[in-house]
Amino acid sequence: MNRMKDLVEKLNEAAKAYYQEDREILSNQEYDALYDELVALEEKTGMILANSPTQKVGYTVLSNLTKVRHESPILSLDKTKETAKLASFLADKKGILSWKLDGLTIVLKYKNGTLEQAITRGNGEVGEDITHNAKVFSNLPVSIPFKGELVLRGEGVIPYSAFYRINEELGEDEQYKNPRNLCSGTVRQLNSEIAAKRNVKFIAFTLVSAEGEEISDSKSVNMDWLASLGFDVVEHVMVTAETVANEVENFRNKIEENDIASDGLVLTFDSISYSQSLGRTAKFPKDSIAFKWADEMAETTLREIEWNTSRTGLMNPVAIFDPVELEGSTVSRASVHNVSILKELKLSIGDKIKVYKANMIIPQIAENLTGEVSTAEIPKNCFVCGGETEVRKLRDGEALYCTNPNCSAQRIQALSHFVSRDAMNMEGLSEETLKKFLEKGFVANYPDIFRLEQHKEEITQMDGFGEKSYNNLIASIEKAKNVELPNFIYALGINHVGLRNAKLLCANFEFDLEKIKQATEEELVQVEGFGGIIAHSICAYFKEEEHLKLLEDALQYLSILLPEQAAEGEESPLNGLTFVVTGDLEHFANRKELQALIEKGGGKVTGSVTKKTNFLINNDIHSVSSKNKKAAELGIPILSENDFIERFLK
């Protein structure tokens, strides 16, 4: 099964490169050999993965989701935050400890080796039929060698890595708050094509029944059997009352590297017969209990609500409070997300608040200890430009927008996006520098960046700038004038067009900017991965007279590289290497930025250290973290950011 998964990944990656990115990573002979090997393995095992290239997927569109009553109710679990309670729960019995996946519980039914039905948990009694979407889950076998009726439960999830990519492509007004919300919205779509493109995975955690099969009394053995049929099963370990606390800590140490969202752990007795003998309460089964991380809470005082204006005009509220220590780091600010949450928390300056790190990672406000009525002002004017604001309804509630299209904050963000690494990749133009240039009138829109030489005397006299800094900046701008079309399209900041969509757009219109500008919505919606919203956004952008004027202005300075020209020259030293990134970063804004750089050079970033890892990047190279220990065990070099830059970027 592992070989089949490896073949599916390689073949799909090769097909994507060939058809969407106009490059070849496998010769025809190599592709055919791997394809034939996959066909042979599918015939031998009777297993076929949903995303196998041997399958021609036909997408299904429904008018509504059918309600279905579960054969047996799916109950919630009782909860604890104390490891001592887990030990007393087990007493002298063996148990299974696993991730409590933060997705959408789904019940699958197979007949004659084929997926027949997939039902969401719903309210536990009645769920919705999502079979059309389950058939396109990225890792779900649609054919298995077992021919009797098989029923199992698991979790539909979307990995963090896919979540960030999808949110970037959706645009700010349509983004989801977390992977669980995105997964829930995706698997309940009426059009299965959406689920196919969003990398939904199914992780099995319970075998319910298997017609004609002698089921083991051990749940662990049954999970191994499900794995042998081709299902991904939840990570789990066997525990006793003596070992459970130590295993909880082992799971805790893996949170940072886990690509699947989790909101705790689940402990269940391994023996099915013993579990059944316990029965259930009105609300909970007695054989299982959920362990929730005891979030480290801190009380502090709210000092300020800061509003940050993005390049689309969205104004995000950020709570500023007295610094506190949480999970080993100092925290003094937390996003409040939108106007609705600000109102729900009833925030006022001076309130005593409780803060924590959601899933031990993201700073959040847990509750307001003193506020009864919110007096936090929703600004009527943008703090940057003074333009009027308005509250708009979005997917996750109300949000505040600056309505002034010429807002300097929006311009700064737009310019910062234009010069960013995946866009024009101009070094030396930080957000702070762009802000100064904007204030002094050196730049108003992105084409002005190519005319900065006109302001040499003023720039070299600025604080932080001298002759050398100025020359480095101009050299970086000159280098950026030779640009690949997808990066330039991405740099324009068209709503819903991330770098991936820019690449798809260019590949489908022969890397011809004129053809892209003239494309109709009907033509754009035919691009694989595009829908009506993306097509409309692109079409509307190139109909705007102001956009066309700026584009014409900029093009006089640029040399657009064709794919074959971009491929010339030395191969990136990152090509073919696998990295793991952990810990705080200093030279990069976040891990996503570093990951994008590595992937652009042909490298790969994964979440955990394995034998396939080439380098671990961690500024604390002497850390005793689980990743450092694993790297040391496997003899994998640990690089600081400076080591990485010196080795691969100079």
**Active centre residues (catalytic):** 100
- Supply the Cα-derived Rg of the chain in whole angstroms: 27
In sequence order, the 6+-apart residues with CB closer than 8 A to the CB of 577 are 598, 603, 604, 614, 615
Distance CA 408, CA 309 (A): 9
Tokens of 404: 């002034």
Count the neighbouring beta carbons within 10 Å of the beta carbon of residue 300: 20
Distance CA 23, CA 507 (A): 10
Pairing of strands 362-368, 604-606: unpaired
- Least Cα distance to 115 among 233, 235, 231 occurs for 231
Residue 508 one-letter amino acid: N
Q: How far is CA 476 from CA 437, 466, 650, in A?
A: 16, 15, 14
Q: Say if CB 410 and CB 309 are below 8 A apart.
A: yes
Pairing of strands 48-49, 236-239: unpaired
Distance, CA of 435 to chain centre:
30
Q: Say if CB 641 and CB 586 are below 8 A apart.
A: yes
In sequence order, the 6+-apart residues with CB closer than 8 A to the CB of 165 are 498, 500
Burial of 432 (0-12, 13-18, 19+ CB in 10 A): exposed
SS3 label, residue 476:
helix
- Least Cα distance to 484 among 420, 569, 423, 526 occurs for 423
E-assigned strand segments in 310-361: 314-326, 329-335, 352-358
Q: How far is CA 264 from CA 358, 487, 518, in A?
A: 11, 40, 51
Residue 249 one-letter amino acid: E
Q: Say if CB 278 and CB 113 are below 8 A apart.
A: no
Beta bridge partners of 314: 401
Estimate the crossing angle of helix 179-187 against helix 160-170, to 10 degrees.
70
Backbone angles phi, psi at 436, to 5 degrees: -65, -45
Helix and strand tally (H, E) in the chain? 25, 26
Q: Say if CB 378 and CB 390 are below 8 A apart.
A: no
Question: DSSP string covering 357-401, please?
Answer: EETTTEEEEEEESS-SS------SB-TTT--BEEEEEETTEEEEE
Backbone angles phi, psi at 101, to 5 degrees: -70, 140
Tokens of 450: 């190519």
Q: Say if CB 529 and CB 501 are below 8 A apart.
A: yes
Distance CA 639, CA 615 (A): 7
E-assigned strand segments in 78-143: 78-80, 95-101, 104-111, 114-120, 126-128, 141-143
Tokens of 494: 């068209």
